[in-house]
Chains A and B, each alone.
Chain A
C-alpha cells in the first residue's frame, strides 16, 4: 500500500512549492488541541493535590510526585488488569480474525445451498447494536458458571458478523486464476485456503485485527456488566473504579489514565503504518 509520504513527495517534485505556512499554522493549532490534553494529563499526574487545585494552575510540578503512581498501583491490581486486557484483546482478535476468515472464505469462494440466505442472516446481524445481546449474554455466562472469569470477558466477543463480511469482501478480490491453478494441481479446499488464500488475505486480516484490537482494548460496558471482581477486570473498568475511589483526586486519576493509555500508545507508534492502512482499508470496503 502506497505511503502518503511517497505520493506527496512525487507530487511535490512535479510542481515544486517550498512551503505552506498557513497550512502549517492551522495544523499546528489543531495539533495543540489534539495533544494538549495529554500534556496536561502528564503534568497533573506529577503534582500534589494542592498544586493541582491552585489558581493560577500549576504547569510544572514543584517536585514530581511519583507517589501518585504508587497510589494507583496500591488502589488497583493494575498489573493484573493490564494482563486481563491483553488476554481479552488477543483472544477476541485471534477468534474474530480466524473465524471470520474461515466463514468469509466459504461465503466468497464456495458454492453451496443456502449461501445467499445464510449470508443475508450474517448481514442482518451486523445491524443489531450490541447492547441488545448484553442481558442474554450475561445470562449465558452465568449459566456456564463463567461470571468473574477471564473467559467471560472475551468469549462472546470472538465471533463477528461484520468481520465475516469484511473478509468475504476481501476474498472476493483475489483473482480466480490462482485458485483454479491450485485446483488443477489437486489441492483440496482446506489446502487452498491455508496455503493460498490466507497468505494473500493478510492485509485484510490485519485490517480486521486492528479494528478488533482497538474495539476490545477500549471496551467498557461488557466488562462492567459481566465481572464484578476487580482482579478479573480490564484496565478500562479499573479506571472507572479508580474514579469511584479517588473521586476528585486529580493527580491520582491522571496518573492512572496515563498508565492505562501508555501501552496502546506505544503499540500504536510501533505499528503505526499497519494500523493506518488497516483503518483505511475498512473505510474503503466497509
Chain B
C-alpha cells in the first residue's frame, strides 16, 4: 500500500524546536504503546465512545435480536412469539423478492467500478488537461442529496414526459414507463446507483493510481507496451487494493439501498415487488405497518447477510488483491 497521508509530515516540524531532534534508540517498524500503566486515562478516553456505542448500538443489537422473537400490538406492547416471525420470513415472498432485488441492484451497480477505473486512468494520463474540472463534474452526484437525486431521476425516467424517453424516441425507440413497469424499474434504480457512485470510486482510484511509481510505466513503455497494455498490465494489478475497497463499499451500500426505492418507486407502484430491498421491507414492516417483531427479524437477516458477504469478500480478496 502506498505511503499516503501522515508519513509525509516531517516530525520535527510538528514538534517544533521544543525538544530538538532526537535519534530514537532502535527505530521500530511500528509504534508500540508505552509500557506504563495508564488504565485510568485509557478508561477516561474510551468512556464517551464506549458508552455511546453500548447504549446506541450494542444494546440495541441484542434488543433487536430479542424483538425478532416477539409479536407487537398495534399501539404498543409486545409478547413472546418464539420462531413465528422467522417462520413467516421464510415463507414471505416479499423477503424472497427483496433478496433477489438486492442482488440485481448490487450486480448492476458494480458496473460503476470498471467505469470509474477507466475515468481515473484517463484523468491520470500524462499531460492531461482539465483534470480538476472533470473531477468536480464527476464528483457532483456524490455530494447531492439522495432525496434530490431520486426526485430528479424520477422525473427524467417519467414514461410520458421524461427526457430519457424523448431522447430514445429520437432514435426510434419507444421507451417504457421505467419506474412503474415491473420489468424495468430495477434497472432504472440501478442506473442511478451507477451514476451516483462513479465519482466516489474515481477519487479512490485517482489516489491509488497516484501511488503507482512512474518507473513502472516507464519500464512498461521500454518493453513497448501501449497505453492500453499499460492500463491492463500496470494500472489494474497495482490498483487491486483500491478495487477491492471500492467493491466492498459498493456491495455494502447496495445492501443498504432504501432512499431511491422509497422515493422513486414507493408502496403504491405496481413495480414495488420487483424493486423492494431488505431495508425497504424493514422500514415498511417496522414503521409503516408497525410490525416491530417482524421488522426485527428482517434486521437480523440483514445482519447475517452482511456478515456472510463481508467474510466472503475478505476470503476472496486473497485470490486477486495484490498489496504492493
Contacts and interface: CB of A to CB of B under 8 A. Distances in A.
B24 interface: yes
Nearest to B278: A131
Contacts of B214: 11, 14
A173 interface: yes
A181 interface: yes
Contacts of B33: 108-111, 115
Nearest to A258: B148
Given A27-B123, A55-B161, A239 B61 contact: no
Contacts of A31: 134, 137-138
21 contacts: A4-B124, A7-B210, A20-B122, A20-B125, A31-B134, A31-B138, A57-B163, A102-B49, A103-B45, A111-B37, A112-B43, A118-B46, A135-B299, A159-B53, A161-B49, A174-B6, A180-B22, A193-B45, A236-B259, A237-B147, A257-B149
Contacts of A188: 41
B34 A220 contact: no
Interface in B280-320: 282-283, 286-287, 292, 295-296, 299-300, 302-303, 306-307, 310
Interface in A184-199: 184-185, 188-190, 193, 196, 199
Interface of B: 1-2, 4-9, 11, 14-15, 18-19, 22, 24, 28, 30-39, 41-43, 45-46, 48-50, 52-53, 55-61, 63-64, 67, 118-119, 122-132, 134-149, 151-153, 155-156, 158, 160-161, 163, 166, 195, 198-200, 203-204, 206-208, 210-211, 214, 242, 245-246, 249, 255-256, 258-259, 262-263, 279, 282-283, 286-287, 292, 295-296, 299-300, 302-303, 306-307, 310
Contacts of A269: 136
A261 B286 CA distance: 29
B125 A128 contact: no
A78 interface: no
Contacts of A107: 46
Given A176-B24, A253-B155, A254-B155, A103 B49 contact: yes
A37 interface: yes
Nearest to A12: B127
Given A99-B52, A110-B38, A265 B163 contact: no
A184 B14 contact: no
Interface in A37-74: 37-38, 40-41, 44, 52-57
B161 A175 contact: no
A217 to B, nearest CB: 7
B57 A125 contact: yes
Nearest to A217: B145
B137 A35 contact: yes
A246 B58 CA distance: 40
B142 A261 contact: no
Contact of A284 (B5, B143, B256): B5
A137 interface: yes
B45 A135 contact: no
Given A14-B126, A107-B46, 15 more contacts: A19-B127, A23-B125, A27-B134, A30-B138, A33-B195, A41-B155, A111-B38, A136-B67, A140-B55, A160-B49, A188-B41, A200-B14, A225-B287, A264-B144, A283-B245
Nearest to A176: B31
Given A53-B161, A203-B6, A8 B126 contact: yes
Nearest to A259: B148
B126 A17 contact: yes
Contacts of A113: 39
B155 A44 contact: yes
B284 to A, nearest CB: 12
Contact of A178 (B2, B11, B48, B152): B11
Interface residues of A, number: 138
B143 A265 contact: yes
B29 to A, nearest CB: 10
Contacts of B199: 34
A75 interface: no
A243 interface: yes
Contacts of B258: 220-221
Contacts of A87: none
A221 B147 CA distance: 11
Question: Closest 3 CB pairs between A and B?
Answer: A159-B52, A12-B127, A280-B207
Contacts of A239: 145, 147-148, 151, 263
